[in-house]
A and B are shown apart, each in its own frame.
Chain A
Amino acid sequence: METVLFYLFAALTLASGLMVITRRNPVASALYLVLCFFGLAGIYVLMDAYFLAAIQIAVYAGAIMVLFLFVIMLLRLEPTELPSFMNSWSKRLYVAVTLVLGGVFLGLDLMRTVNTGADSALTGEAGAIADRLFNRYLLPFEVTALLLLVAIVGAVVMARRESPKPTASMEEV
């Protein structure tokens, strides 16, 4: 059952990931990316990472992708034309290197399996994550809070119109 679900979610993730980079309309890309995140959340649940699955849906599919869609619709873009595939040497080189690397990884995978030793007892529910987060990783957690604050201020500063008059901006609000 779990195996079937895993391959189902994996296929969903890969297919929608492929759709993300092949759609002409950015809105379609964003919606496929949301689907991709849902598939990944399913895989997280299968690996007992419940808290991560929850915030994958809430933060990624919820907050970040809504921000993307908001910006796409704000900009009112026309659909871009797709690139003529492999029209330069660098891109051909990239595809070649990727295929070779993929072959190497697949070969390595066929040769040996990862040691699945200490398994099963681990569940990533919110309490266990919070225990790590607020004890061992308290300082990185606080730094993350600061980073988010800086990001908010930076986004506001960059996205506002240039050389605003103080009274005009107040009137618009």
Chain B
Amino acid sequence: MFDYNHALILAFMLFTLGTAGVLLRRSALVVFMSIELMLNAVNLVLVVFSRLRGDLDGQVICFFIMAVAAAEAAVGLAIIIAFFKRKKHVDLDRASLLRS
């Protein structure tokens, strides 16, 4: 059996990768994918602790996170499409529609 600590470290590294993507990339689409990466890291932590505690609640929460991620992706991508239609790019550094 593998060490669960290593699964937790994997989740930490995945979350770090996701955060790095959010902070460093400028394309809105890649930023969204990085957010998905972070959500998956959290899911992994939940599954590991569900396993450690011998309790299925963590996996149920994981299920809810997936549902919310689906909703978030749908709405976020709709926002990106609306933004692209107006500005013809999805560069977050040049996004200033809400700034006066």
Are B13 and A14 in contact, with the CB atoms below 8 A? yes
Are B56 and A128 in contact, with the CB atoms below 8 A? yes
Are A68 and B73 in contact, with the CB atoms below 8 A? yes
Q: Binding site of B, secondary structure by majority: helix, strand, loop or mixed?
A: helix
Report the minimum CB–CB distance from A117 to chain B (whole Å). Answer: 7
Name which residue of chain A comes closest to B2, CB basis. Answer: A6
Contact with A along B46-63 (1 / 0, CB 8 A): 011011111111011011
Complex Cα–Cα for A114 and B81 (A)? 45
Contact with B along A122-151 (1 / 0, CB 8 A): 101000110011001100100010011011
Are B14 and A67 in contact, with the CB atoms below 8 A? no
Are B82 and A159 in contact, with the CB atoms below 8 A? yes
Are B27 and A77 in contact, with the CB atoms below 8 A? yes
Complex Cα–Cα for A147 and B37 (A)? 21
Q: Binding site of A, secondary structure by majority: helix, strand, loop or mixed?
A: helix
- A56-78 contacts to B, CB under 8 A, are 56, 59-60, 63-64, 67-68, 71-72, 74-75, 77
Complex Cα–Cα for A28 and B3 (A)? 32
Evaluate whether A75 and B81 lie within 8 angstroms (CB atoms) in the complex, with A2-B2, A114-B5 already known.
yes
Report the minimum CB–CB distance from A124 to chain B (whole Å). Answer: 5
Partner of B71, one of A90, A95, A105, A147: A147
Evaluate whether A155 and B2 lie within 8 angstroms (CB atoms) in the complex, with A77-B27, A122-B54, A148-B67 already known.
no
Are B44 and A43 in contact, with the CB atoms below 8 A? yes
The number of chain A residues with a CB under 8 A from chain B is: 80
Residue of B23, B33, B85 with most partner-chain A CB within 10 A: B33
Partner of B2, one of A7, A26, A68, A150: A7
Report the minimum CB–CB distance from B75 to chain A (whole Å). Answer: 5
Report the minimum CB–CB distance from B35 to chain A (whole Å). Answer: 11
Complex Cα–Cα for A106 and B26 (A)? 30
Complex Cα–Cα for A151 and B75 (A)? 6
Interface residues of B (CB under 8 A from A): 1-10, 12-14, 16-21, 23-27, 29-30, 32-34, 36-37, 40, 43-44, 47-48, 50-57, 59-60, 62-64, 66-75, 77-82, 84-85, 90-91
